[in-house]
Structures are given as structure tokens and as C-alpha cells.
Amino acid sequence: MASPILPGSGLGSGLDIGSIVTALVNADKSAKQTQIDTQTKTNSLKISGVGSLKSALAAFQKSMTDLGQATSPAFAGYTATSDTPTVLGATSNSTAVPGSYSVVVKNLATGSKVASAAFAGGATSAIPSGTLKISQNGIDYNVAIPANATLQSTRDAINTAQASNGISANIVTDATGASRLVLSSSKTGAGMDMQVSGIAGLEIDGTQQMGGTPAPGASGAVGDLAQDAKITIDGLLVTSKSNTVSGAISGMTLNLTSVSPKDASGAQTAATVTVATNTTGIQTSLQSFMDSYNTLKRTIDTLSNATADEDGNLTVSAAFTGDSLPRSLMSDIRSQLTMSSSGSGSLAVLAQMGVLTDKETGELTLDTKVFNDRMSTPGMAGQVQQLFSGTTSTNGLLARMKSAVDPYVKPGTGLLDQRSSNLTSSAASLKSQQTALDIHVASLTATLTAKYNAMDLLVGQMKATASNITSFFASLDAQKSAS
């Protein structure tokens, strides 16, 4: 706001009215302006600190989530590897035991496919209305086919209605240019063959020959009947409804991708699956865990600890200096490190693996000798996996560490969002106070300027009067002297 103070000295009084008014206004404004500036600086620092802490906690939680992925657990006590990954892959859990297995994939589990009659008109061929019934494993799935349907709209109706049941449809055009509606099921294993009926125009009446490819122009099943996967493990026959074979080998899951190839004699060659203790992988994951914790700890320390001023005194406050929130946060996280595991083994807490807290920095360090000694104990690898992953989705160390942070970062209701909301309100209040102070300063400036200008005018008038009187008496004296 422009100042109404006029520069220069008063014409009547000779006083520097502008300087006098400025000094008086600044004296009146100083205390409140200092308070607003200090509080604004502190508030802005805290808002920035809350944002930094939220980002650090989000990164920490993501790290815990990544380390705890169920599909590829970072703390897997054992690693299962296949020497022929194009035929099958293998994963293990905490109940696995070291060993080697010879596996032959005789055939994969397959689903069912059924084709309609061939339509020379392609995707736009007309299809009669009605109810299409798809029967599978004793269950009927019905699809309503409306009037004026085409081969393409029939396909779309099936996909919309039956996607959740693993049944899909597509249009396949053969070498003659004719198009067929082909229904497929993602459900594999013997007994999962589909039979389709209800729409006479599709020429699938539910009695089509199963297990053979339909003749040109005819409808029927495509390929062989749905079948179970068959494998041998060290010569023992195992069957499975799906190509994910769990439980055949304790603590291991086999993921079948293709049939085992044959050698020169025509015999199928075996893939070797090996299970070994995952000591190196666990140590790498453990270091990642400690790095994530230490990074968060350093961030919180930076946001909490005062720093030195130019004289070396710790007087420069950080965003959370003197605030109990970061101390409470770290206490909640640290408590998970000393909480006993829910498992039944001898490994109960992280310290037993050689993970210690540095007395100076509070960060986690690893005593590799203790770690290696513990890992050499039979069965310890599985206990490590159980310590981190837990026996349920919530009682493992990784899940507990992530949950300890939830009350602080939960959107809207979390402690940090609440703090951010309060700080935003404070910023708005300080802005209003600044606006009010500016208005007060402008008003006071105008008032003082008017008063001093009036005083200057009065002094000028008095000086003019005094000058006139002086001149009058001087004139009288001159007249007397002349006479």
C-alpha cells in the first residue's frame, strides 16, 4: 500500500515530517510485525517438515511392502530353482527343506474349447435370439441373446456375462474365410469340458462330439478333452487340475509351462529342481530392511534436531524441534523390532540375528558373525522367513512395521494430515493478521501525516504573523527616526 507521507521538510516548521511519521508508525507496528513474521516463518517451516516426513514415511512403507510381497518374498528362507525354466519354474515357502528333485512334465492341464458352426458372412452374420446355456462341471451358465444379434454381439454378450466365471468367446476365421464363434474356459482339469446349447442357429446343441476337432462347417469341441496335468517327481506320478502344482513337494510350488522335451531315444528329459538355504538373499534383504529404517531415522533426526548458528550454538530450530510427534513415531516403529515373533521356533526377535542398534546414532547395524552363526543352524532360514513374513498377513515384522506408520499417514484422518490442516489454518490466520496490520498502518500513517501537516500549517501561519508584527514595529521605528 502506498504511503501518504509527504517527503521533505514542512514548509512552516522546517521539520522532516515524513521521517517523524515513519518513525512513529514503525514503532507502533514493530512488535506485531515481528510476531507475525516469526510465526509465519515457523509455520512455513513446519508445513514443509510435515510434507518431508510424509514423503519419508511413504517411501518406508513402500519398502516394507516390496520386501513383503507374497509372490516373491524377499526373506524366503529357501530358494527353489529349476535348471529348465522353459518347462517349469519353482518357488518355496518357509516350510521347505533343502533337497533336489527330478521332475518330468508328461502333459499340461488344459481347459475346454467349443466352436460354433462356420458362418460365411463373418462377424456380422445374423444369430437367432434366445438363451445360450453353457454347462460345465454340473453348473449351467445362461447368456441372454437379444433380437437382431450378430456373431460379434453374441461374442460380446458372452464375454460381458461370463468373464467372472472364466468363460470367454472370440471369433476365429479359418482358411476358407468362414468365421466361427469359439468359446474357451480358463478352468483346467479333467471334468471341466463345456457343452453349449440353446441357440439353434449356432448349431451347438449340447450333444456335439467331444474330444475331436469339428469338421469343416460343423460345430463341436476344439482339440482334446480338458485334462489334468501329469508329472513325475523322482518317478512318482502326480496329477493336478491346474498347471500350478502345490503340495506335491512339501513347501514348494511348481509352475508348469510346457511338456518336457524328448531326447534322441524318445524319452522325456527330466528337469532338476533344487532347494537350498537362501543365506545370501536373506542378508541382502536384511540390509535393505536396515537401510530403509536408517534412512527414515536420519530424516526424522534432521527434521527434529536444532542446528548451530554462526556462533556454534544450537539455536536454529528444525521443523519438529521440541515436538513430541517424531519421538512418538520412532517409538512406535522401534517397538516392533523388539516384539517377539508369533512363530514357534527359537528365533523370536531381530537382535537374535545380529541386528543391533548403534548407541551413538540409533541406527541399525548388522553383526555378520552372529548372523552367519545363526543361519548355520538347521531350520533357521525358515524361521527368518516366518519372523519377517509372519504366520498371517498381519503378524510378520514387515506388516507390523508398515502398520505402525498407518496412524500417521492415513489420508484425511492421519496425524500428519491433521497437523497439516492445522498449520494451513494457522497460515490463513497469519495472513489475515498481516492484512489487518497493513490496514492499521495505512490508517495511522494517514492520521499522523494529516496532524503533522496541520501543525506545520499552523506554525507557518504563526511565523507569518510574527513576521508581519516585526515588520510593523520596524516600520514604526523607522518613522520615529525620520521625524
Using DSSP's 3-state secondary structure scheme, residue 467 falls into helix
pLDDT at site 14: 65
Record the pTM.
0.63
pLDDT digits (tens, 9 = 90+) for 473-483: 777 777 777 76
pLDDT digits (tens, 9 = 90+) for 447-464: 988 888 888 788 777 877
Is the CB of residue 166 less than 8 Å from the CB of residue 187? yes
Residue partners of 174: CB distance under 8 A and separation at least 6: 118, 180, 216
Least confident of 97-106, 111-120, 454-463: 454-463
Is the CB of residue 243 less than 8 Å from the CB of residue 88? no
- Give DSSP secondary structure letters for 401-451: HHHHHHHHH-TTTSHHHHHHHHHHHHHHHHHHHHHHHHHHHHHHHHHHHHH
How many whole angstroms separate alpha carbon 199 and alpha carbon 184? 17
Least confident of 191-195, 348-352, 435-439, 458-462: 458-462
- Give DSSP secondary structure letters for 333-396: HHHHHHSPPSSSSS--SGGGGTEEE-TTT--EEE-HHHHHHHHTSTTHHHHHHHHHH-SSSSSS
Evaluate if residue 230 carries a pLDDT over 90.
yes
How many whole angstroms separate alpha carbon 41 and alpha carbon 45? 6
pLDDT digits (tens, 9 = 90+) for 311-324: 767 667 888 888 88
pLDDT at site 305: 85
Mean pLDDT of the chain: 86
Query: What would the mean pLDDT of 291-295 be, rounded to a whole number?
Result: 95
pLDDT at site 4: 46
pLDDT at site 8: 47
Q: Helix 279-304 to helix 17-67 angle, to the nearest 10 degrees?
A: 160
- Between the ranges 18-22, 144-148, 301-305, where is the mean pLDDT highest? 144-148
pLDDT digits (tens, 9 = 90+) for 10-22: 455 667 788 888 8
Query: What would the mean pLDDT of 4-12 be, rounded to a whole number?
Result: 48
- In the chain, the amino acid numbered 1 is M
Query: What would the mean pLDDT of 70-85 be, rounded to a whole number?
Result: 86
pLDDT at site 480: 77
